[in-house]
Amino acid sequence: MNRQQALGEFMREYPEIELDLDFTDRLVDVVEEGFDAVVRAGEPTDSRLAARKLGSFRSALVASPYYLTQRGTPKIAADLLEHACLHYCFPHTGKLESWELRRNAGEPELQLPTSMICNNIETRVRFALQGLGIAYLPEFAIKEPLADGRLRTVLAGYAERTGVFYVLWPASKHPSPKVRALVDFLSAWVFPTSEAKRR
């Protein structure tokens, strides 16, 4: 279940709770900006925040069938040098996210073409679906287009990126019943560990 679906289910189950949602890749200051809770990828580093792990995810290199028909399917990582690569830029630093690819000891990191750079996941998904290049995306963001064939995985043996999601909230104050309800709901629904947990 993706985040929009999960939050929609939360609204159905808790209609009395008002949701004020901010979908951004910006690294917000949870305490200073007054957020009740945030979902963030990566290990928590802010000692002011309490955290609960939601689950882990993998990433994959993907492209549309149209793109692969037009440009060919890369067989080894070095083939990416001849392809359009759709990159992510961290909003808070301006740095490009590196593509973690399997390589032999001593082998240098590839300097991939930057055919497009943006600061969110959704744009890269859309551009990949439009046949504009290859993107390195978390699998939770492309589950449906992979399942229905609109996107295909390439270089499956080379993609090595994994990540983890946490829900975070200010540790200085006891979470309200509403925040606890959201944390519990996300823990149960976003990354369910079993069919029993889904129920």
Structure confidence by residue, pLDDT tens digits, 181-192: 888 888 777 665
Q: Which residues of 47-78 are buried (b: 16+ CB within 10 A; e: fewer)?
A: eebbeeebeebebbbbbbeebbeebeebeebe
Q: What is the percentage of the chain residues whose pLDDT exceeds 90?
A: 38
pLDDT at residue 2 greater than cutoff 70? no
- Which tokens sit at 96? 């490009």
Domains of the chain listed by start with CATH number: 3-55+163-198 (3.40.190.10), 58-162 (3.40.190.10)
Q: 74 and 85 in contact (C-beta within 8 Å)?
A: no
Q: Which of 64, 62, 59 is nearest to 150 (CA)?
A: 64
Over the chain, what is the mean pLDDT? 86
Q: How far does CA 169 lie from the centroid of its chain? A: 20
Q: 154 and 134 in contact (C-beta within 8 Å)?
A: yes
Q: What is the pTM of this model?
A: 0.75
